[in-house]
Amino acid sequence: MAIHEPERIWWNPLSKDERVWVGVALIWMLVSFIFMPVYHLVGSQNPPSTTYSVKADDFDKLVEGMVGKYKVGEENGFPVVHPDPSEPVFIRASMWQWYPILELEKGKTYKVHLSSIDIQHGFSLQPINMNLMALPGYDYVIKLTPTSTGEFHIVCNEYCGVGHHTMVGKMYVK
Amino acid sequence: MANTDFRTCSLSGLKIHRSSELLIRWNLIAAFATLAVGGLMGLLVLLTRWPSVHLLPVEHYYRFLTAHGLDALLAWIIFFEIALVHFTSAVLLGTRSYVTWLGWVAFALMLIGGALINTIVVLGRADVMFTSYVPLKADPLYYLGVILFAVGALIGFIHFFINIVLSKRDGGFKRSLPLGSFGLAAASIIGILTLAHGAAIFLPTLLWSMDVIPTIDPSAYRLVFWGLGHSSQQINVCAMVAVWYMTSAFVVGGKPVNEKLSRTAFVLYILFINLASEHHLLVDPVLSSWHKVVNTSYMMHLAVLASMIHAFAIPASMEVALRKQGYTRGLFEWLKKAPWGNPAFSGVIISIVLFGFLGGITGVIFGTEQFAIIRHNTFAITGHFHGTVVAGTTIAFMAFTYLLIPFIFKRELIWKGFASIQPWLYGAGVATLSIGMMSAGSFGVPRRHYDITFSGAPFSFTFDPAIDMFMSMMGVGGVLAAAGGFLFILIAFGSIIFGKKMEQR
């Protein structure tokens, strides 16, 4: 029993039922084990991994540079930016804003640089539900090709203080 | 160590020494108390997240959420596990708990650490959540509290090995540990490894909060923190599975069908589970994709295989035992005639089923690279771990409490009728809560979020209206679970204080 010392010899062969069960479970595990790396190669739903180290001040300058160059409007005090796909695009997370509002074109491929200038934030693009971390000190590069037009929102899903629930940003695809 | 310090439990036949009895009693009392506090915090947090109630103001929500995580996940479960350490390394072996003072040092450190954490959090000086991701900063006393608690727990797990070495010297066992003790040995090994990760990250963080160290890299923090944060959940898995086996033995006389198979499964946990902890970082910058794939997919499935083995072996041991008792008609007479009215038995069955189907499977799915990006930090994750540590571990520990109260406290349970429905009530509540959370999360609802209607935000966003139903499911399930949890606390403390004293030989 599980509460008593086992008999002297407990290294006994498995019965048929046990062999079948363990065999089926092992095959299932092996399939899962192989499938994730394989899907990384054939699938198109992989988190990006390109990262640069960046200081908050430098990232800020890059963001403001892009805003100065490509600003096309303003909404609730946030600049709306229509960047050139051939140039890097920036999204800055801070307590409690996603800055600026990007206006992207459907079918064009952008390199979106994501970083935080204070604490950790969670980039959650809704309603398509794509989630990535924005860490201070790191510039996370997302290769993004919008496939549908419309209005999207960026929700923060990593706790970042009392204003966390007001940290909502916007993105347009035209 | 006079012989009179041993007594023989009239129900289980266990030989119980006074030293173990006192340590187990006090660790259990602390566990129940922290569960009561953690559960109350959980109810308040739930009633805030339920959009139609939205109870607390924003500061209190995050404060109580931090406390809920620390009390319910850390304190309740680890206090109970230290009680299990002494139960399996002394009581099961029929020997005493050795170096008792060390057990009390561990208990005192955990108690002081836990009290310090709670005080600082409730005072509002550590609104940093369970994860305390840097550079979000808490009062240094918060980190000190976590360190004190962790050092206490570390000593508690080391105590397991002191006990079994000396027990073997005194003839407690000859060659192999009982399977229940073997499970706690696995838990203690993993416990020591993970608490070392805890020291590696919380000591520098304490120094950083005191301005001794200028910065802590947020990415490195996340890496080492999850070496503690997720690996420590495997302590819970091992302890929970050991409880499953032991309950099967105590209640229906179940014998592991094949000791080799069950023990190998525990070894698989020790060897491979740590490698899976990195799935928390799947959508983080810094680490390369292949690094992530290897450290999450890689050996995670060998640990899952271990759970699949237990999922077979434990019901099998129950079936064999019940068939031996004469319930042999048809395929399922044994199942029909099983002691469903005994909360220890029904609780363990509920724990096995819910852990497997709600917690385990979703964990394996969400932990893959392709799923992480659509589930990371959503409410689905909260649903997943309420399926593991609440529906799995907590229900298993509640079930085992119904055995430990007569064995260790020498008291009969009060309100036996209520006790027999408690696991069902709590299990149904947690299952509903967990499914509601996971469903809402699949629509993108974030976890740890005060207001998903985003009042006060510069832009308004409305989730798919389907989430209203799922958030209500969570609310109703959570209230049921809170009722079940409250009932458990009443029965546990009520039995300890007012339960009928049992005769001892």
The number of residues making up chain B comes to 505
Distance in angstroms (rounded) separating the CA atoms of residues B160 and B92: 12
Residue B230 falls within a domain, yes or no?
no
Going by DSSP bridges, is the β-strand pair A130-134/A101-104 parallel, antiparallel, or unpaired?
A: unpaired
Sign of CA dihedral B317, B320, B325, B326: positive
The predicted complex's ipTM stands at: 0.93
- Out of A3, A18, A158, the one facing B92 most closely (by C-beta) is A3
Interface of A with B in 13-72 (CB under 8 A): 14-15, 17-18, 21-22, 25-26, 29-30, 32-33, 36-37, 39-40, 43, 45-47, 49, 51
What does the pLDDT read at residue B504? 62
| Cβ(A102)–Cβ(A113) below 8 Å | no
Distance in angstroms (rounded) separating the CA atoms of residues B390 and B39: 11
What does the pLDDT read at residue B129? 94
B43 strand-pairing partners: none
Structure-token pair, residue A62 = 């890059």
Last residue of a domain, one of B131, B160, B175: B175
CB contact under 8 A, A165 and B250: no
Distance in angstroms (rounded) separating the CA atoms of residues B473 and B66: 23
What does the pLDDT read at residue B36? 97
Residue of A nearest to B317 (CA): A1
Instruction: Name residue, tokens 């659509």.
Output: B374
Last residue of a domain, one of B175, B192, B210: B175
| DSSP letters spanning B145-190 | HHHHHHHHHHHHHHHHHHHHHHHHHTTS-SSS--HHHHHHHHHHHH
DSSP secondary-structure letter at B278?
G
pLDDT in tens, B154-163: 999 999 999 9
Structure-token pair, residue B435 = 């499914």
Range of the domain at B477: 378-505
Distance in angstroms (rounded) separating the CA atoms of residues A38 and A50: 20
| Cβ(B68)–Cβ(B129) below 8 Å | no
Residue B236 falls within a domain, yes or no?
no
* Residue from A159, A164, A168, A171 whose CB has the most chain B CBs within 10 Å, to mutate: A159
Cβ count near B284 (within 10 Å): 25
Strands of A63-164, DSSP E: 71-75, 78-81, 89-94, 97-99, 101-104, 110-116, 121-126, 130-134, 138-144, 150-156
Q: Alpha carbon of B416 to those of B340, B413, B421, B489, B495: distances in Å?
A: 13, 6, 9, 14, 10
What does the pLDDT read at residue A12? 86
What structural domains does chain A harbor?
51-173 (2.60.40.420)
Distance in angstroms (rounded) separating the CA atoms of residues B217 and A99: 23
Instruction: Name residue, tokens 């690094």.
Output: B291
Residue B79 falls within a domain, yes or no?
yes
What does the pLDDT read at residue B3? 62
Phi, psi of B411 (to 5 degrees): -125, 145
Contacts of B283 in chain A (CB under 8 A): 47, 131-133
Q: Alpha carbon of B465 to those of A9, B161, B216, B469, B476: distances in Å?
A: 61, 54, 41, 8, 18
pLDDT in tens, A53-68: 999 999 999 999 999 9
Distance in angstroms (rounded) separating the CA atoms of residues A110 and A173: 12
Structure-token pair, residue B187 = 């838990």
10-residue block means of pLDDT along chain A (174 residues)? 84 90 91 85 89 96 96 95 96 96 96 96 95 96 95 96 96 96
What does the pLDDT read at residue B368? 86
CB contact under 8 A, B374 and A130: yes
Residue B314: exposure state from Cβ atoms within 10 A (0-12, 13-18, ≥19):
buried
* Per-residue confidence in pLDDT tens, chain B, 505 aa: 456 789 998 888 899 999 999 999 999 999 999 999 999 999 999 999 999 999 999 999 999 999 999 999 999 999 999 999 999 999 999 999 999 999 999 999 999 999 999 999 999 999 999 999 999 999 999 999 999 999 999 999 999 999 999 999 999 999 999 999 999 999 999 999 999 889 899 999 999 999 999 999 999 999 999 989 888 899 999 999 999 999 999 999 998 889 999 999 999 999 887 777 888 999 999 999 888 888 877 677 888 899 999 999 999 999 999 999 999 998 999 999 999 999 999 999 999 999 999 999 999 889 888 899 999 999 999 999 999 999 999 999 999 999 999 999 999 999 999 999 999 999 999 999 999 999 999 999 999 999 999 999 999 999 999 999 999 999 999 999 999 999 999 999 999 999 999 876 5
- What is the identity of the amino acid at B98? Y
Residue B395 falls within a domain, yes or no?
yes
| Cβ(B13)–Cβ(B72) below 8 Å | no
Q: Alpha carbon of B491 to those of A102, B42, B113, B495: distances in Å?
A: 57, 20, 27, 6
What does the pLDDT read at residue A65? 96
What does the pLDDT read at residue A2? 83
| Cβ(B128)–Cβ(B142) below 8 Å | yes
In Å, how far from its chain's centre is CA B106? 19
The number of residues making up chain A comes to 174
Structure-token pair, residue B303 = 């640990």
Residue B363 falls within a domain, yes or no?
no
The closest of A99, A124, A47, A134 to B449, measured between CA atoms, is A124
CB contact under 8 A, B136 and A120: yes
Residue of B nearest to A132 (CA): B283
- Angle, helices B395-409 vs B416-441, to 10°: value is 160
Structure-token pair, residue A169 = 């940003």
Residue B240 falls within a domain, yes or no?
no
Residue B144 falls within a domain, yes or no?
yes
Residue B340 falls within a domain, yes or no?
no
Going by DSSP bridges, is the β-strand pair A51-53/A138-144 parallel, antiparallel, or unpaired?
A: antiparallel
Distance in angstroms (rounded) separating the CA atoms of residues B130 and B192: 20
Interface of B with A in 259-278 (CB under 8 A): 259-261, 263
* Residue from A3, A74, A116, A156 whose CB has the most chain B CBs within 10 Å, to mutate: A3
Last residue of a domain, one of B175, B195, B221: B175
A139 strand-pairing partners: A52
The closest of A105, A110, A100 to A68, measured between CA atoms, is A100
Number of domains in chain B: 2
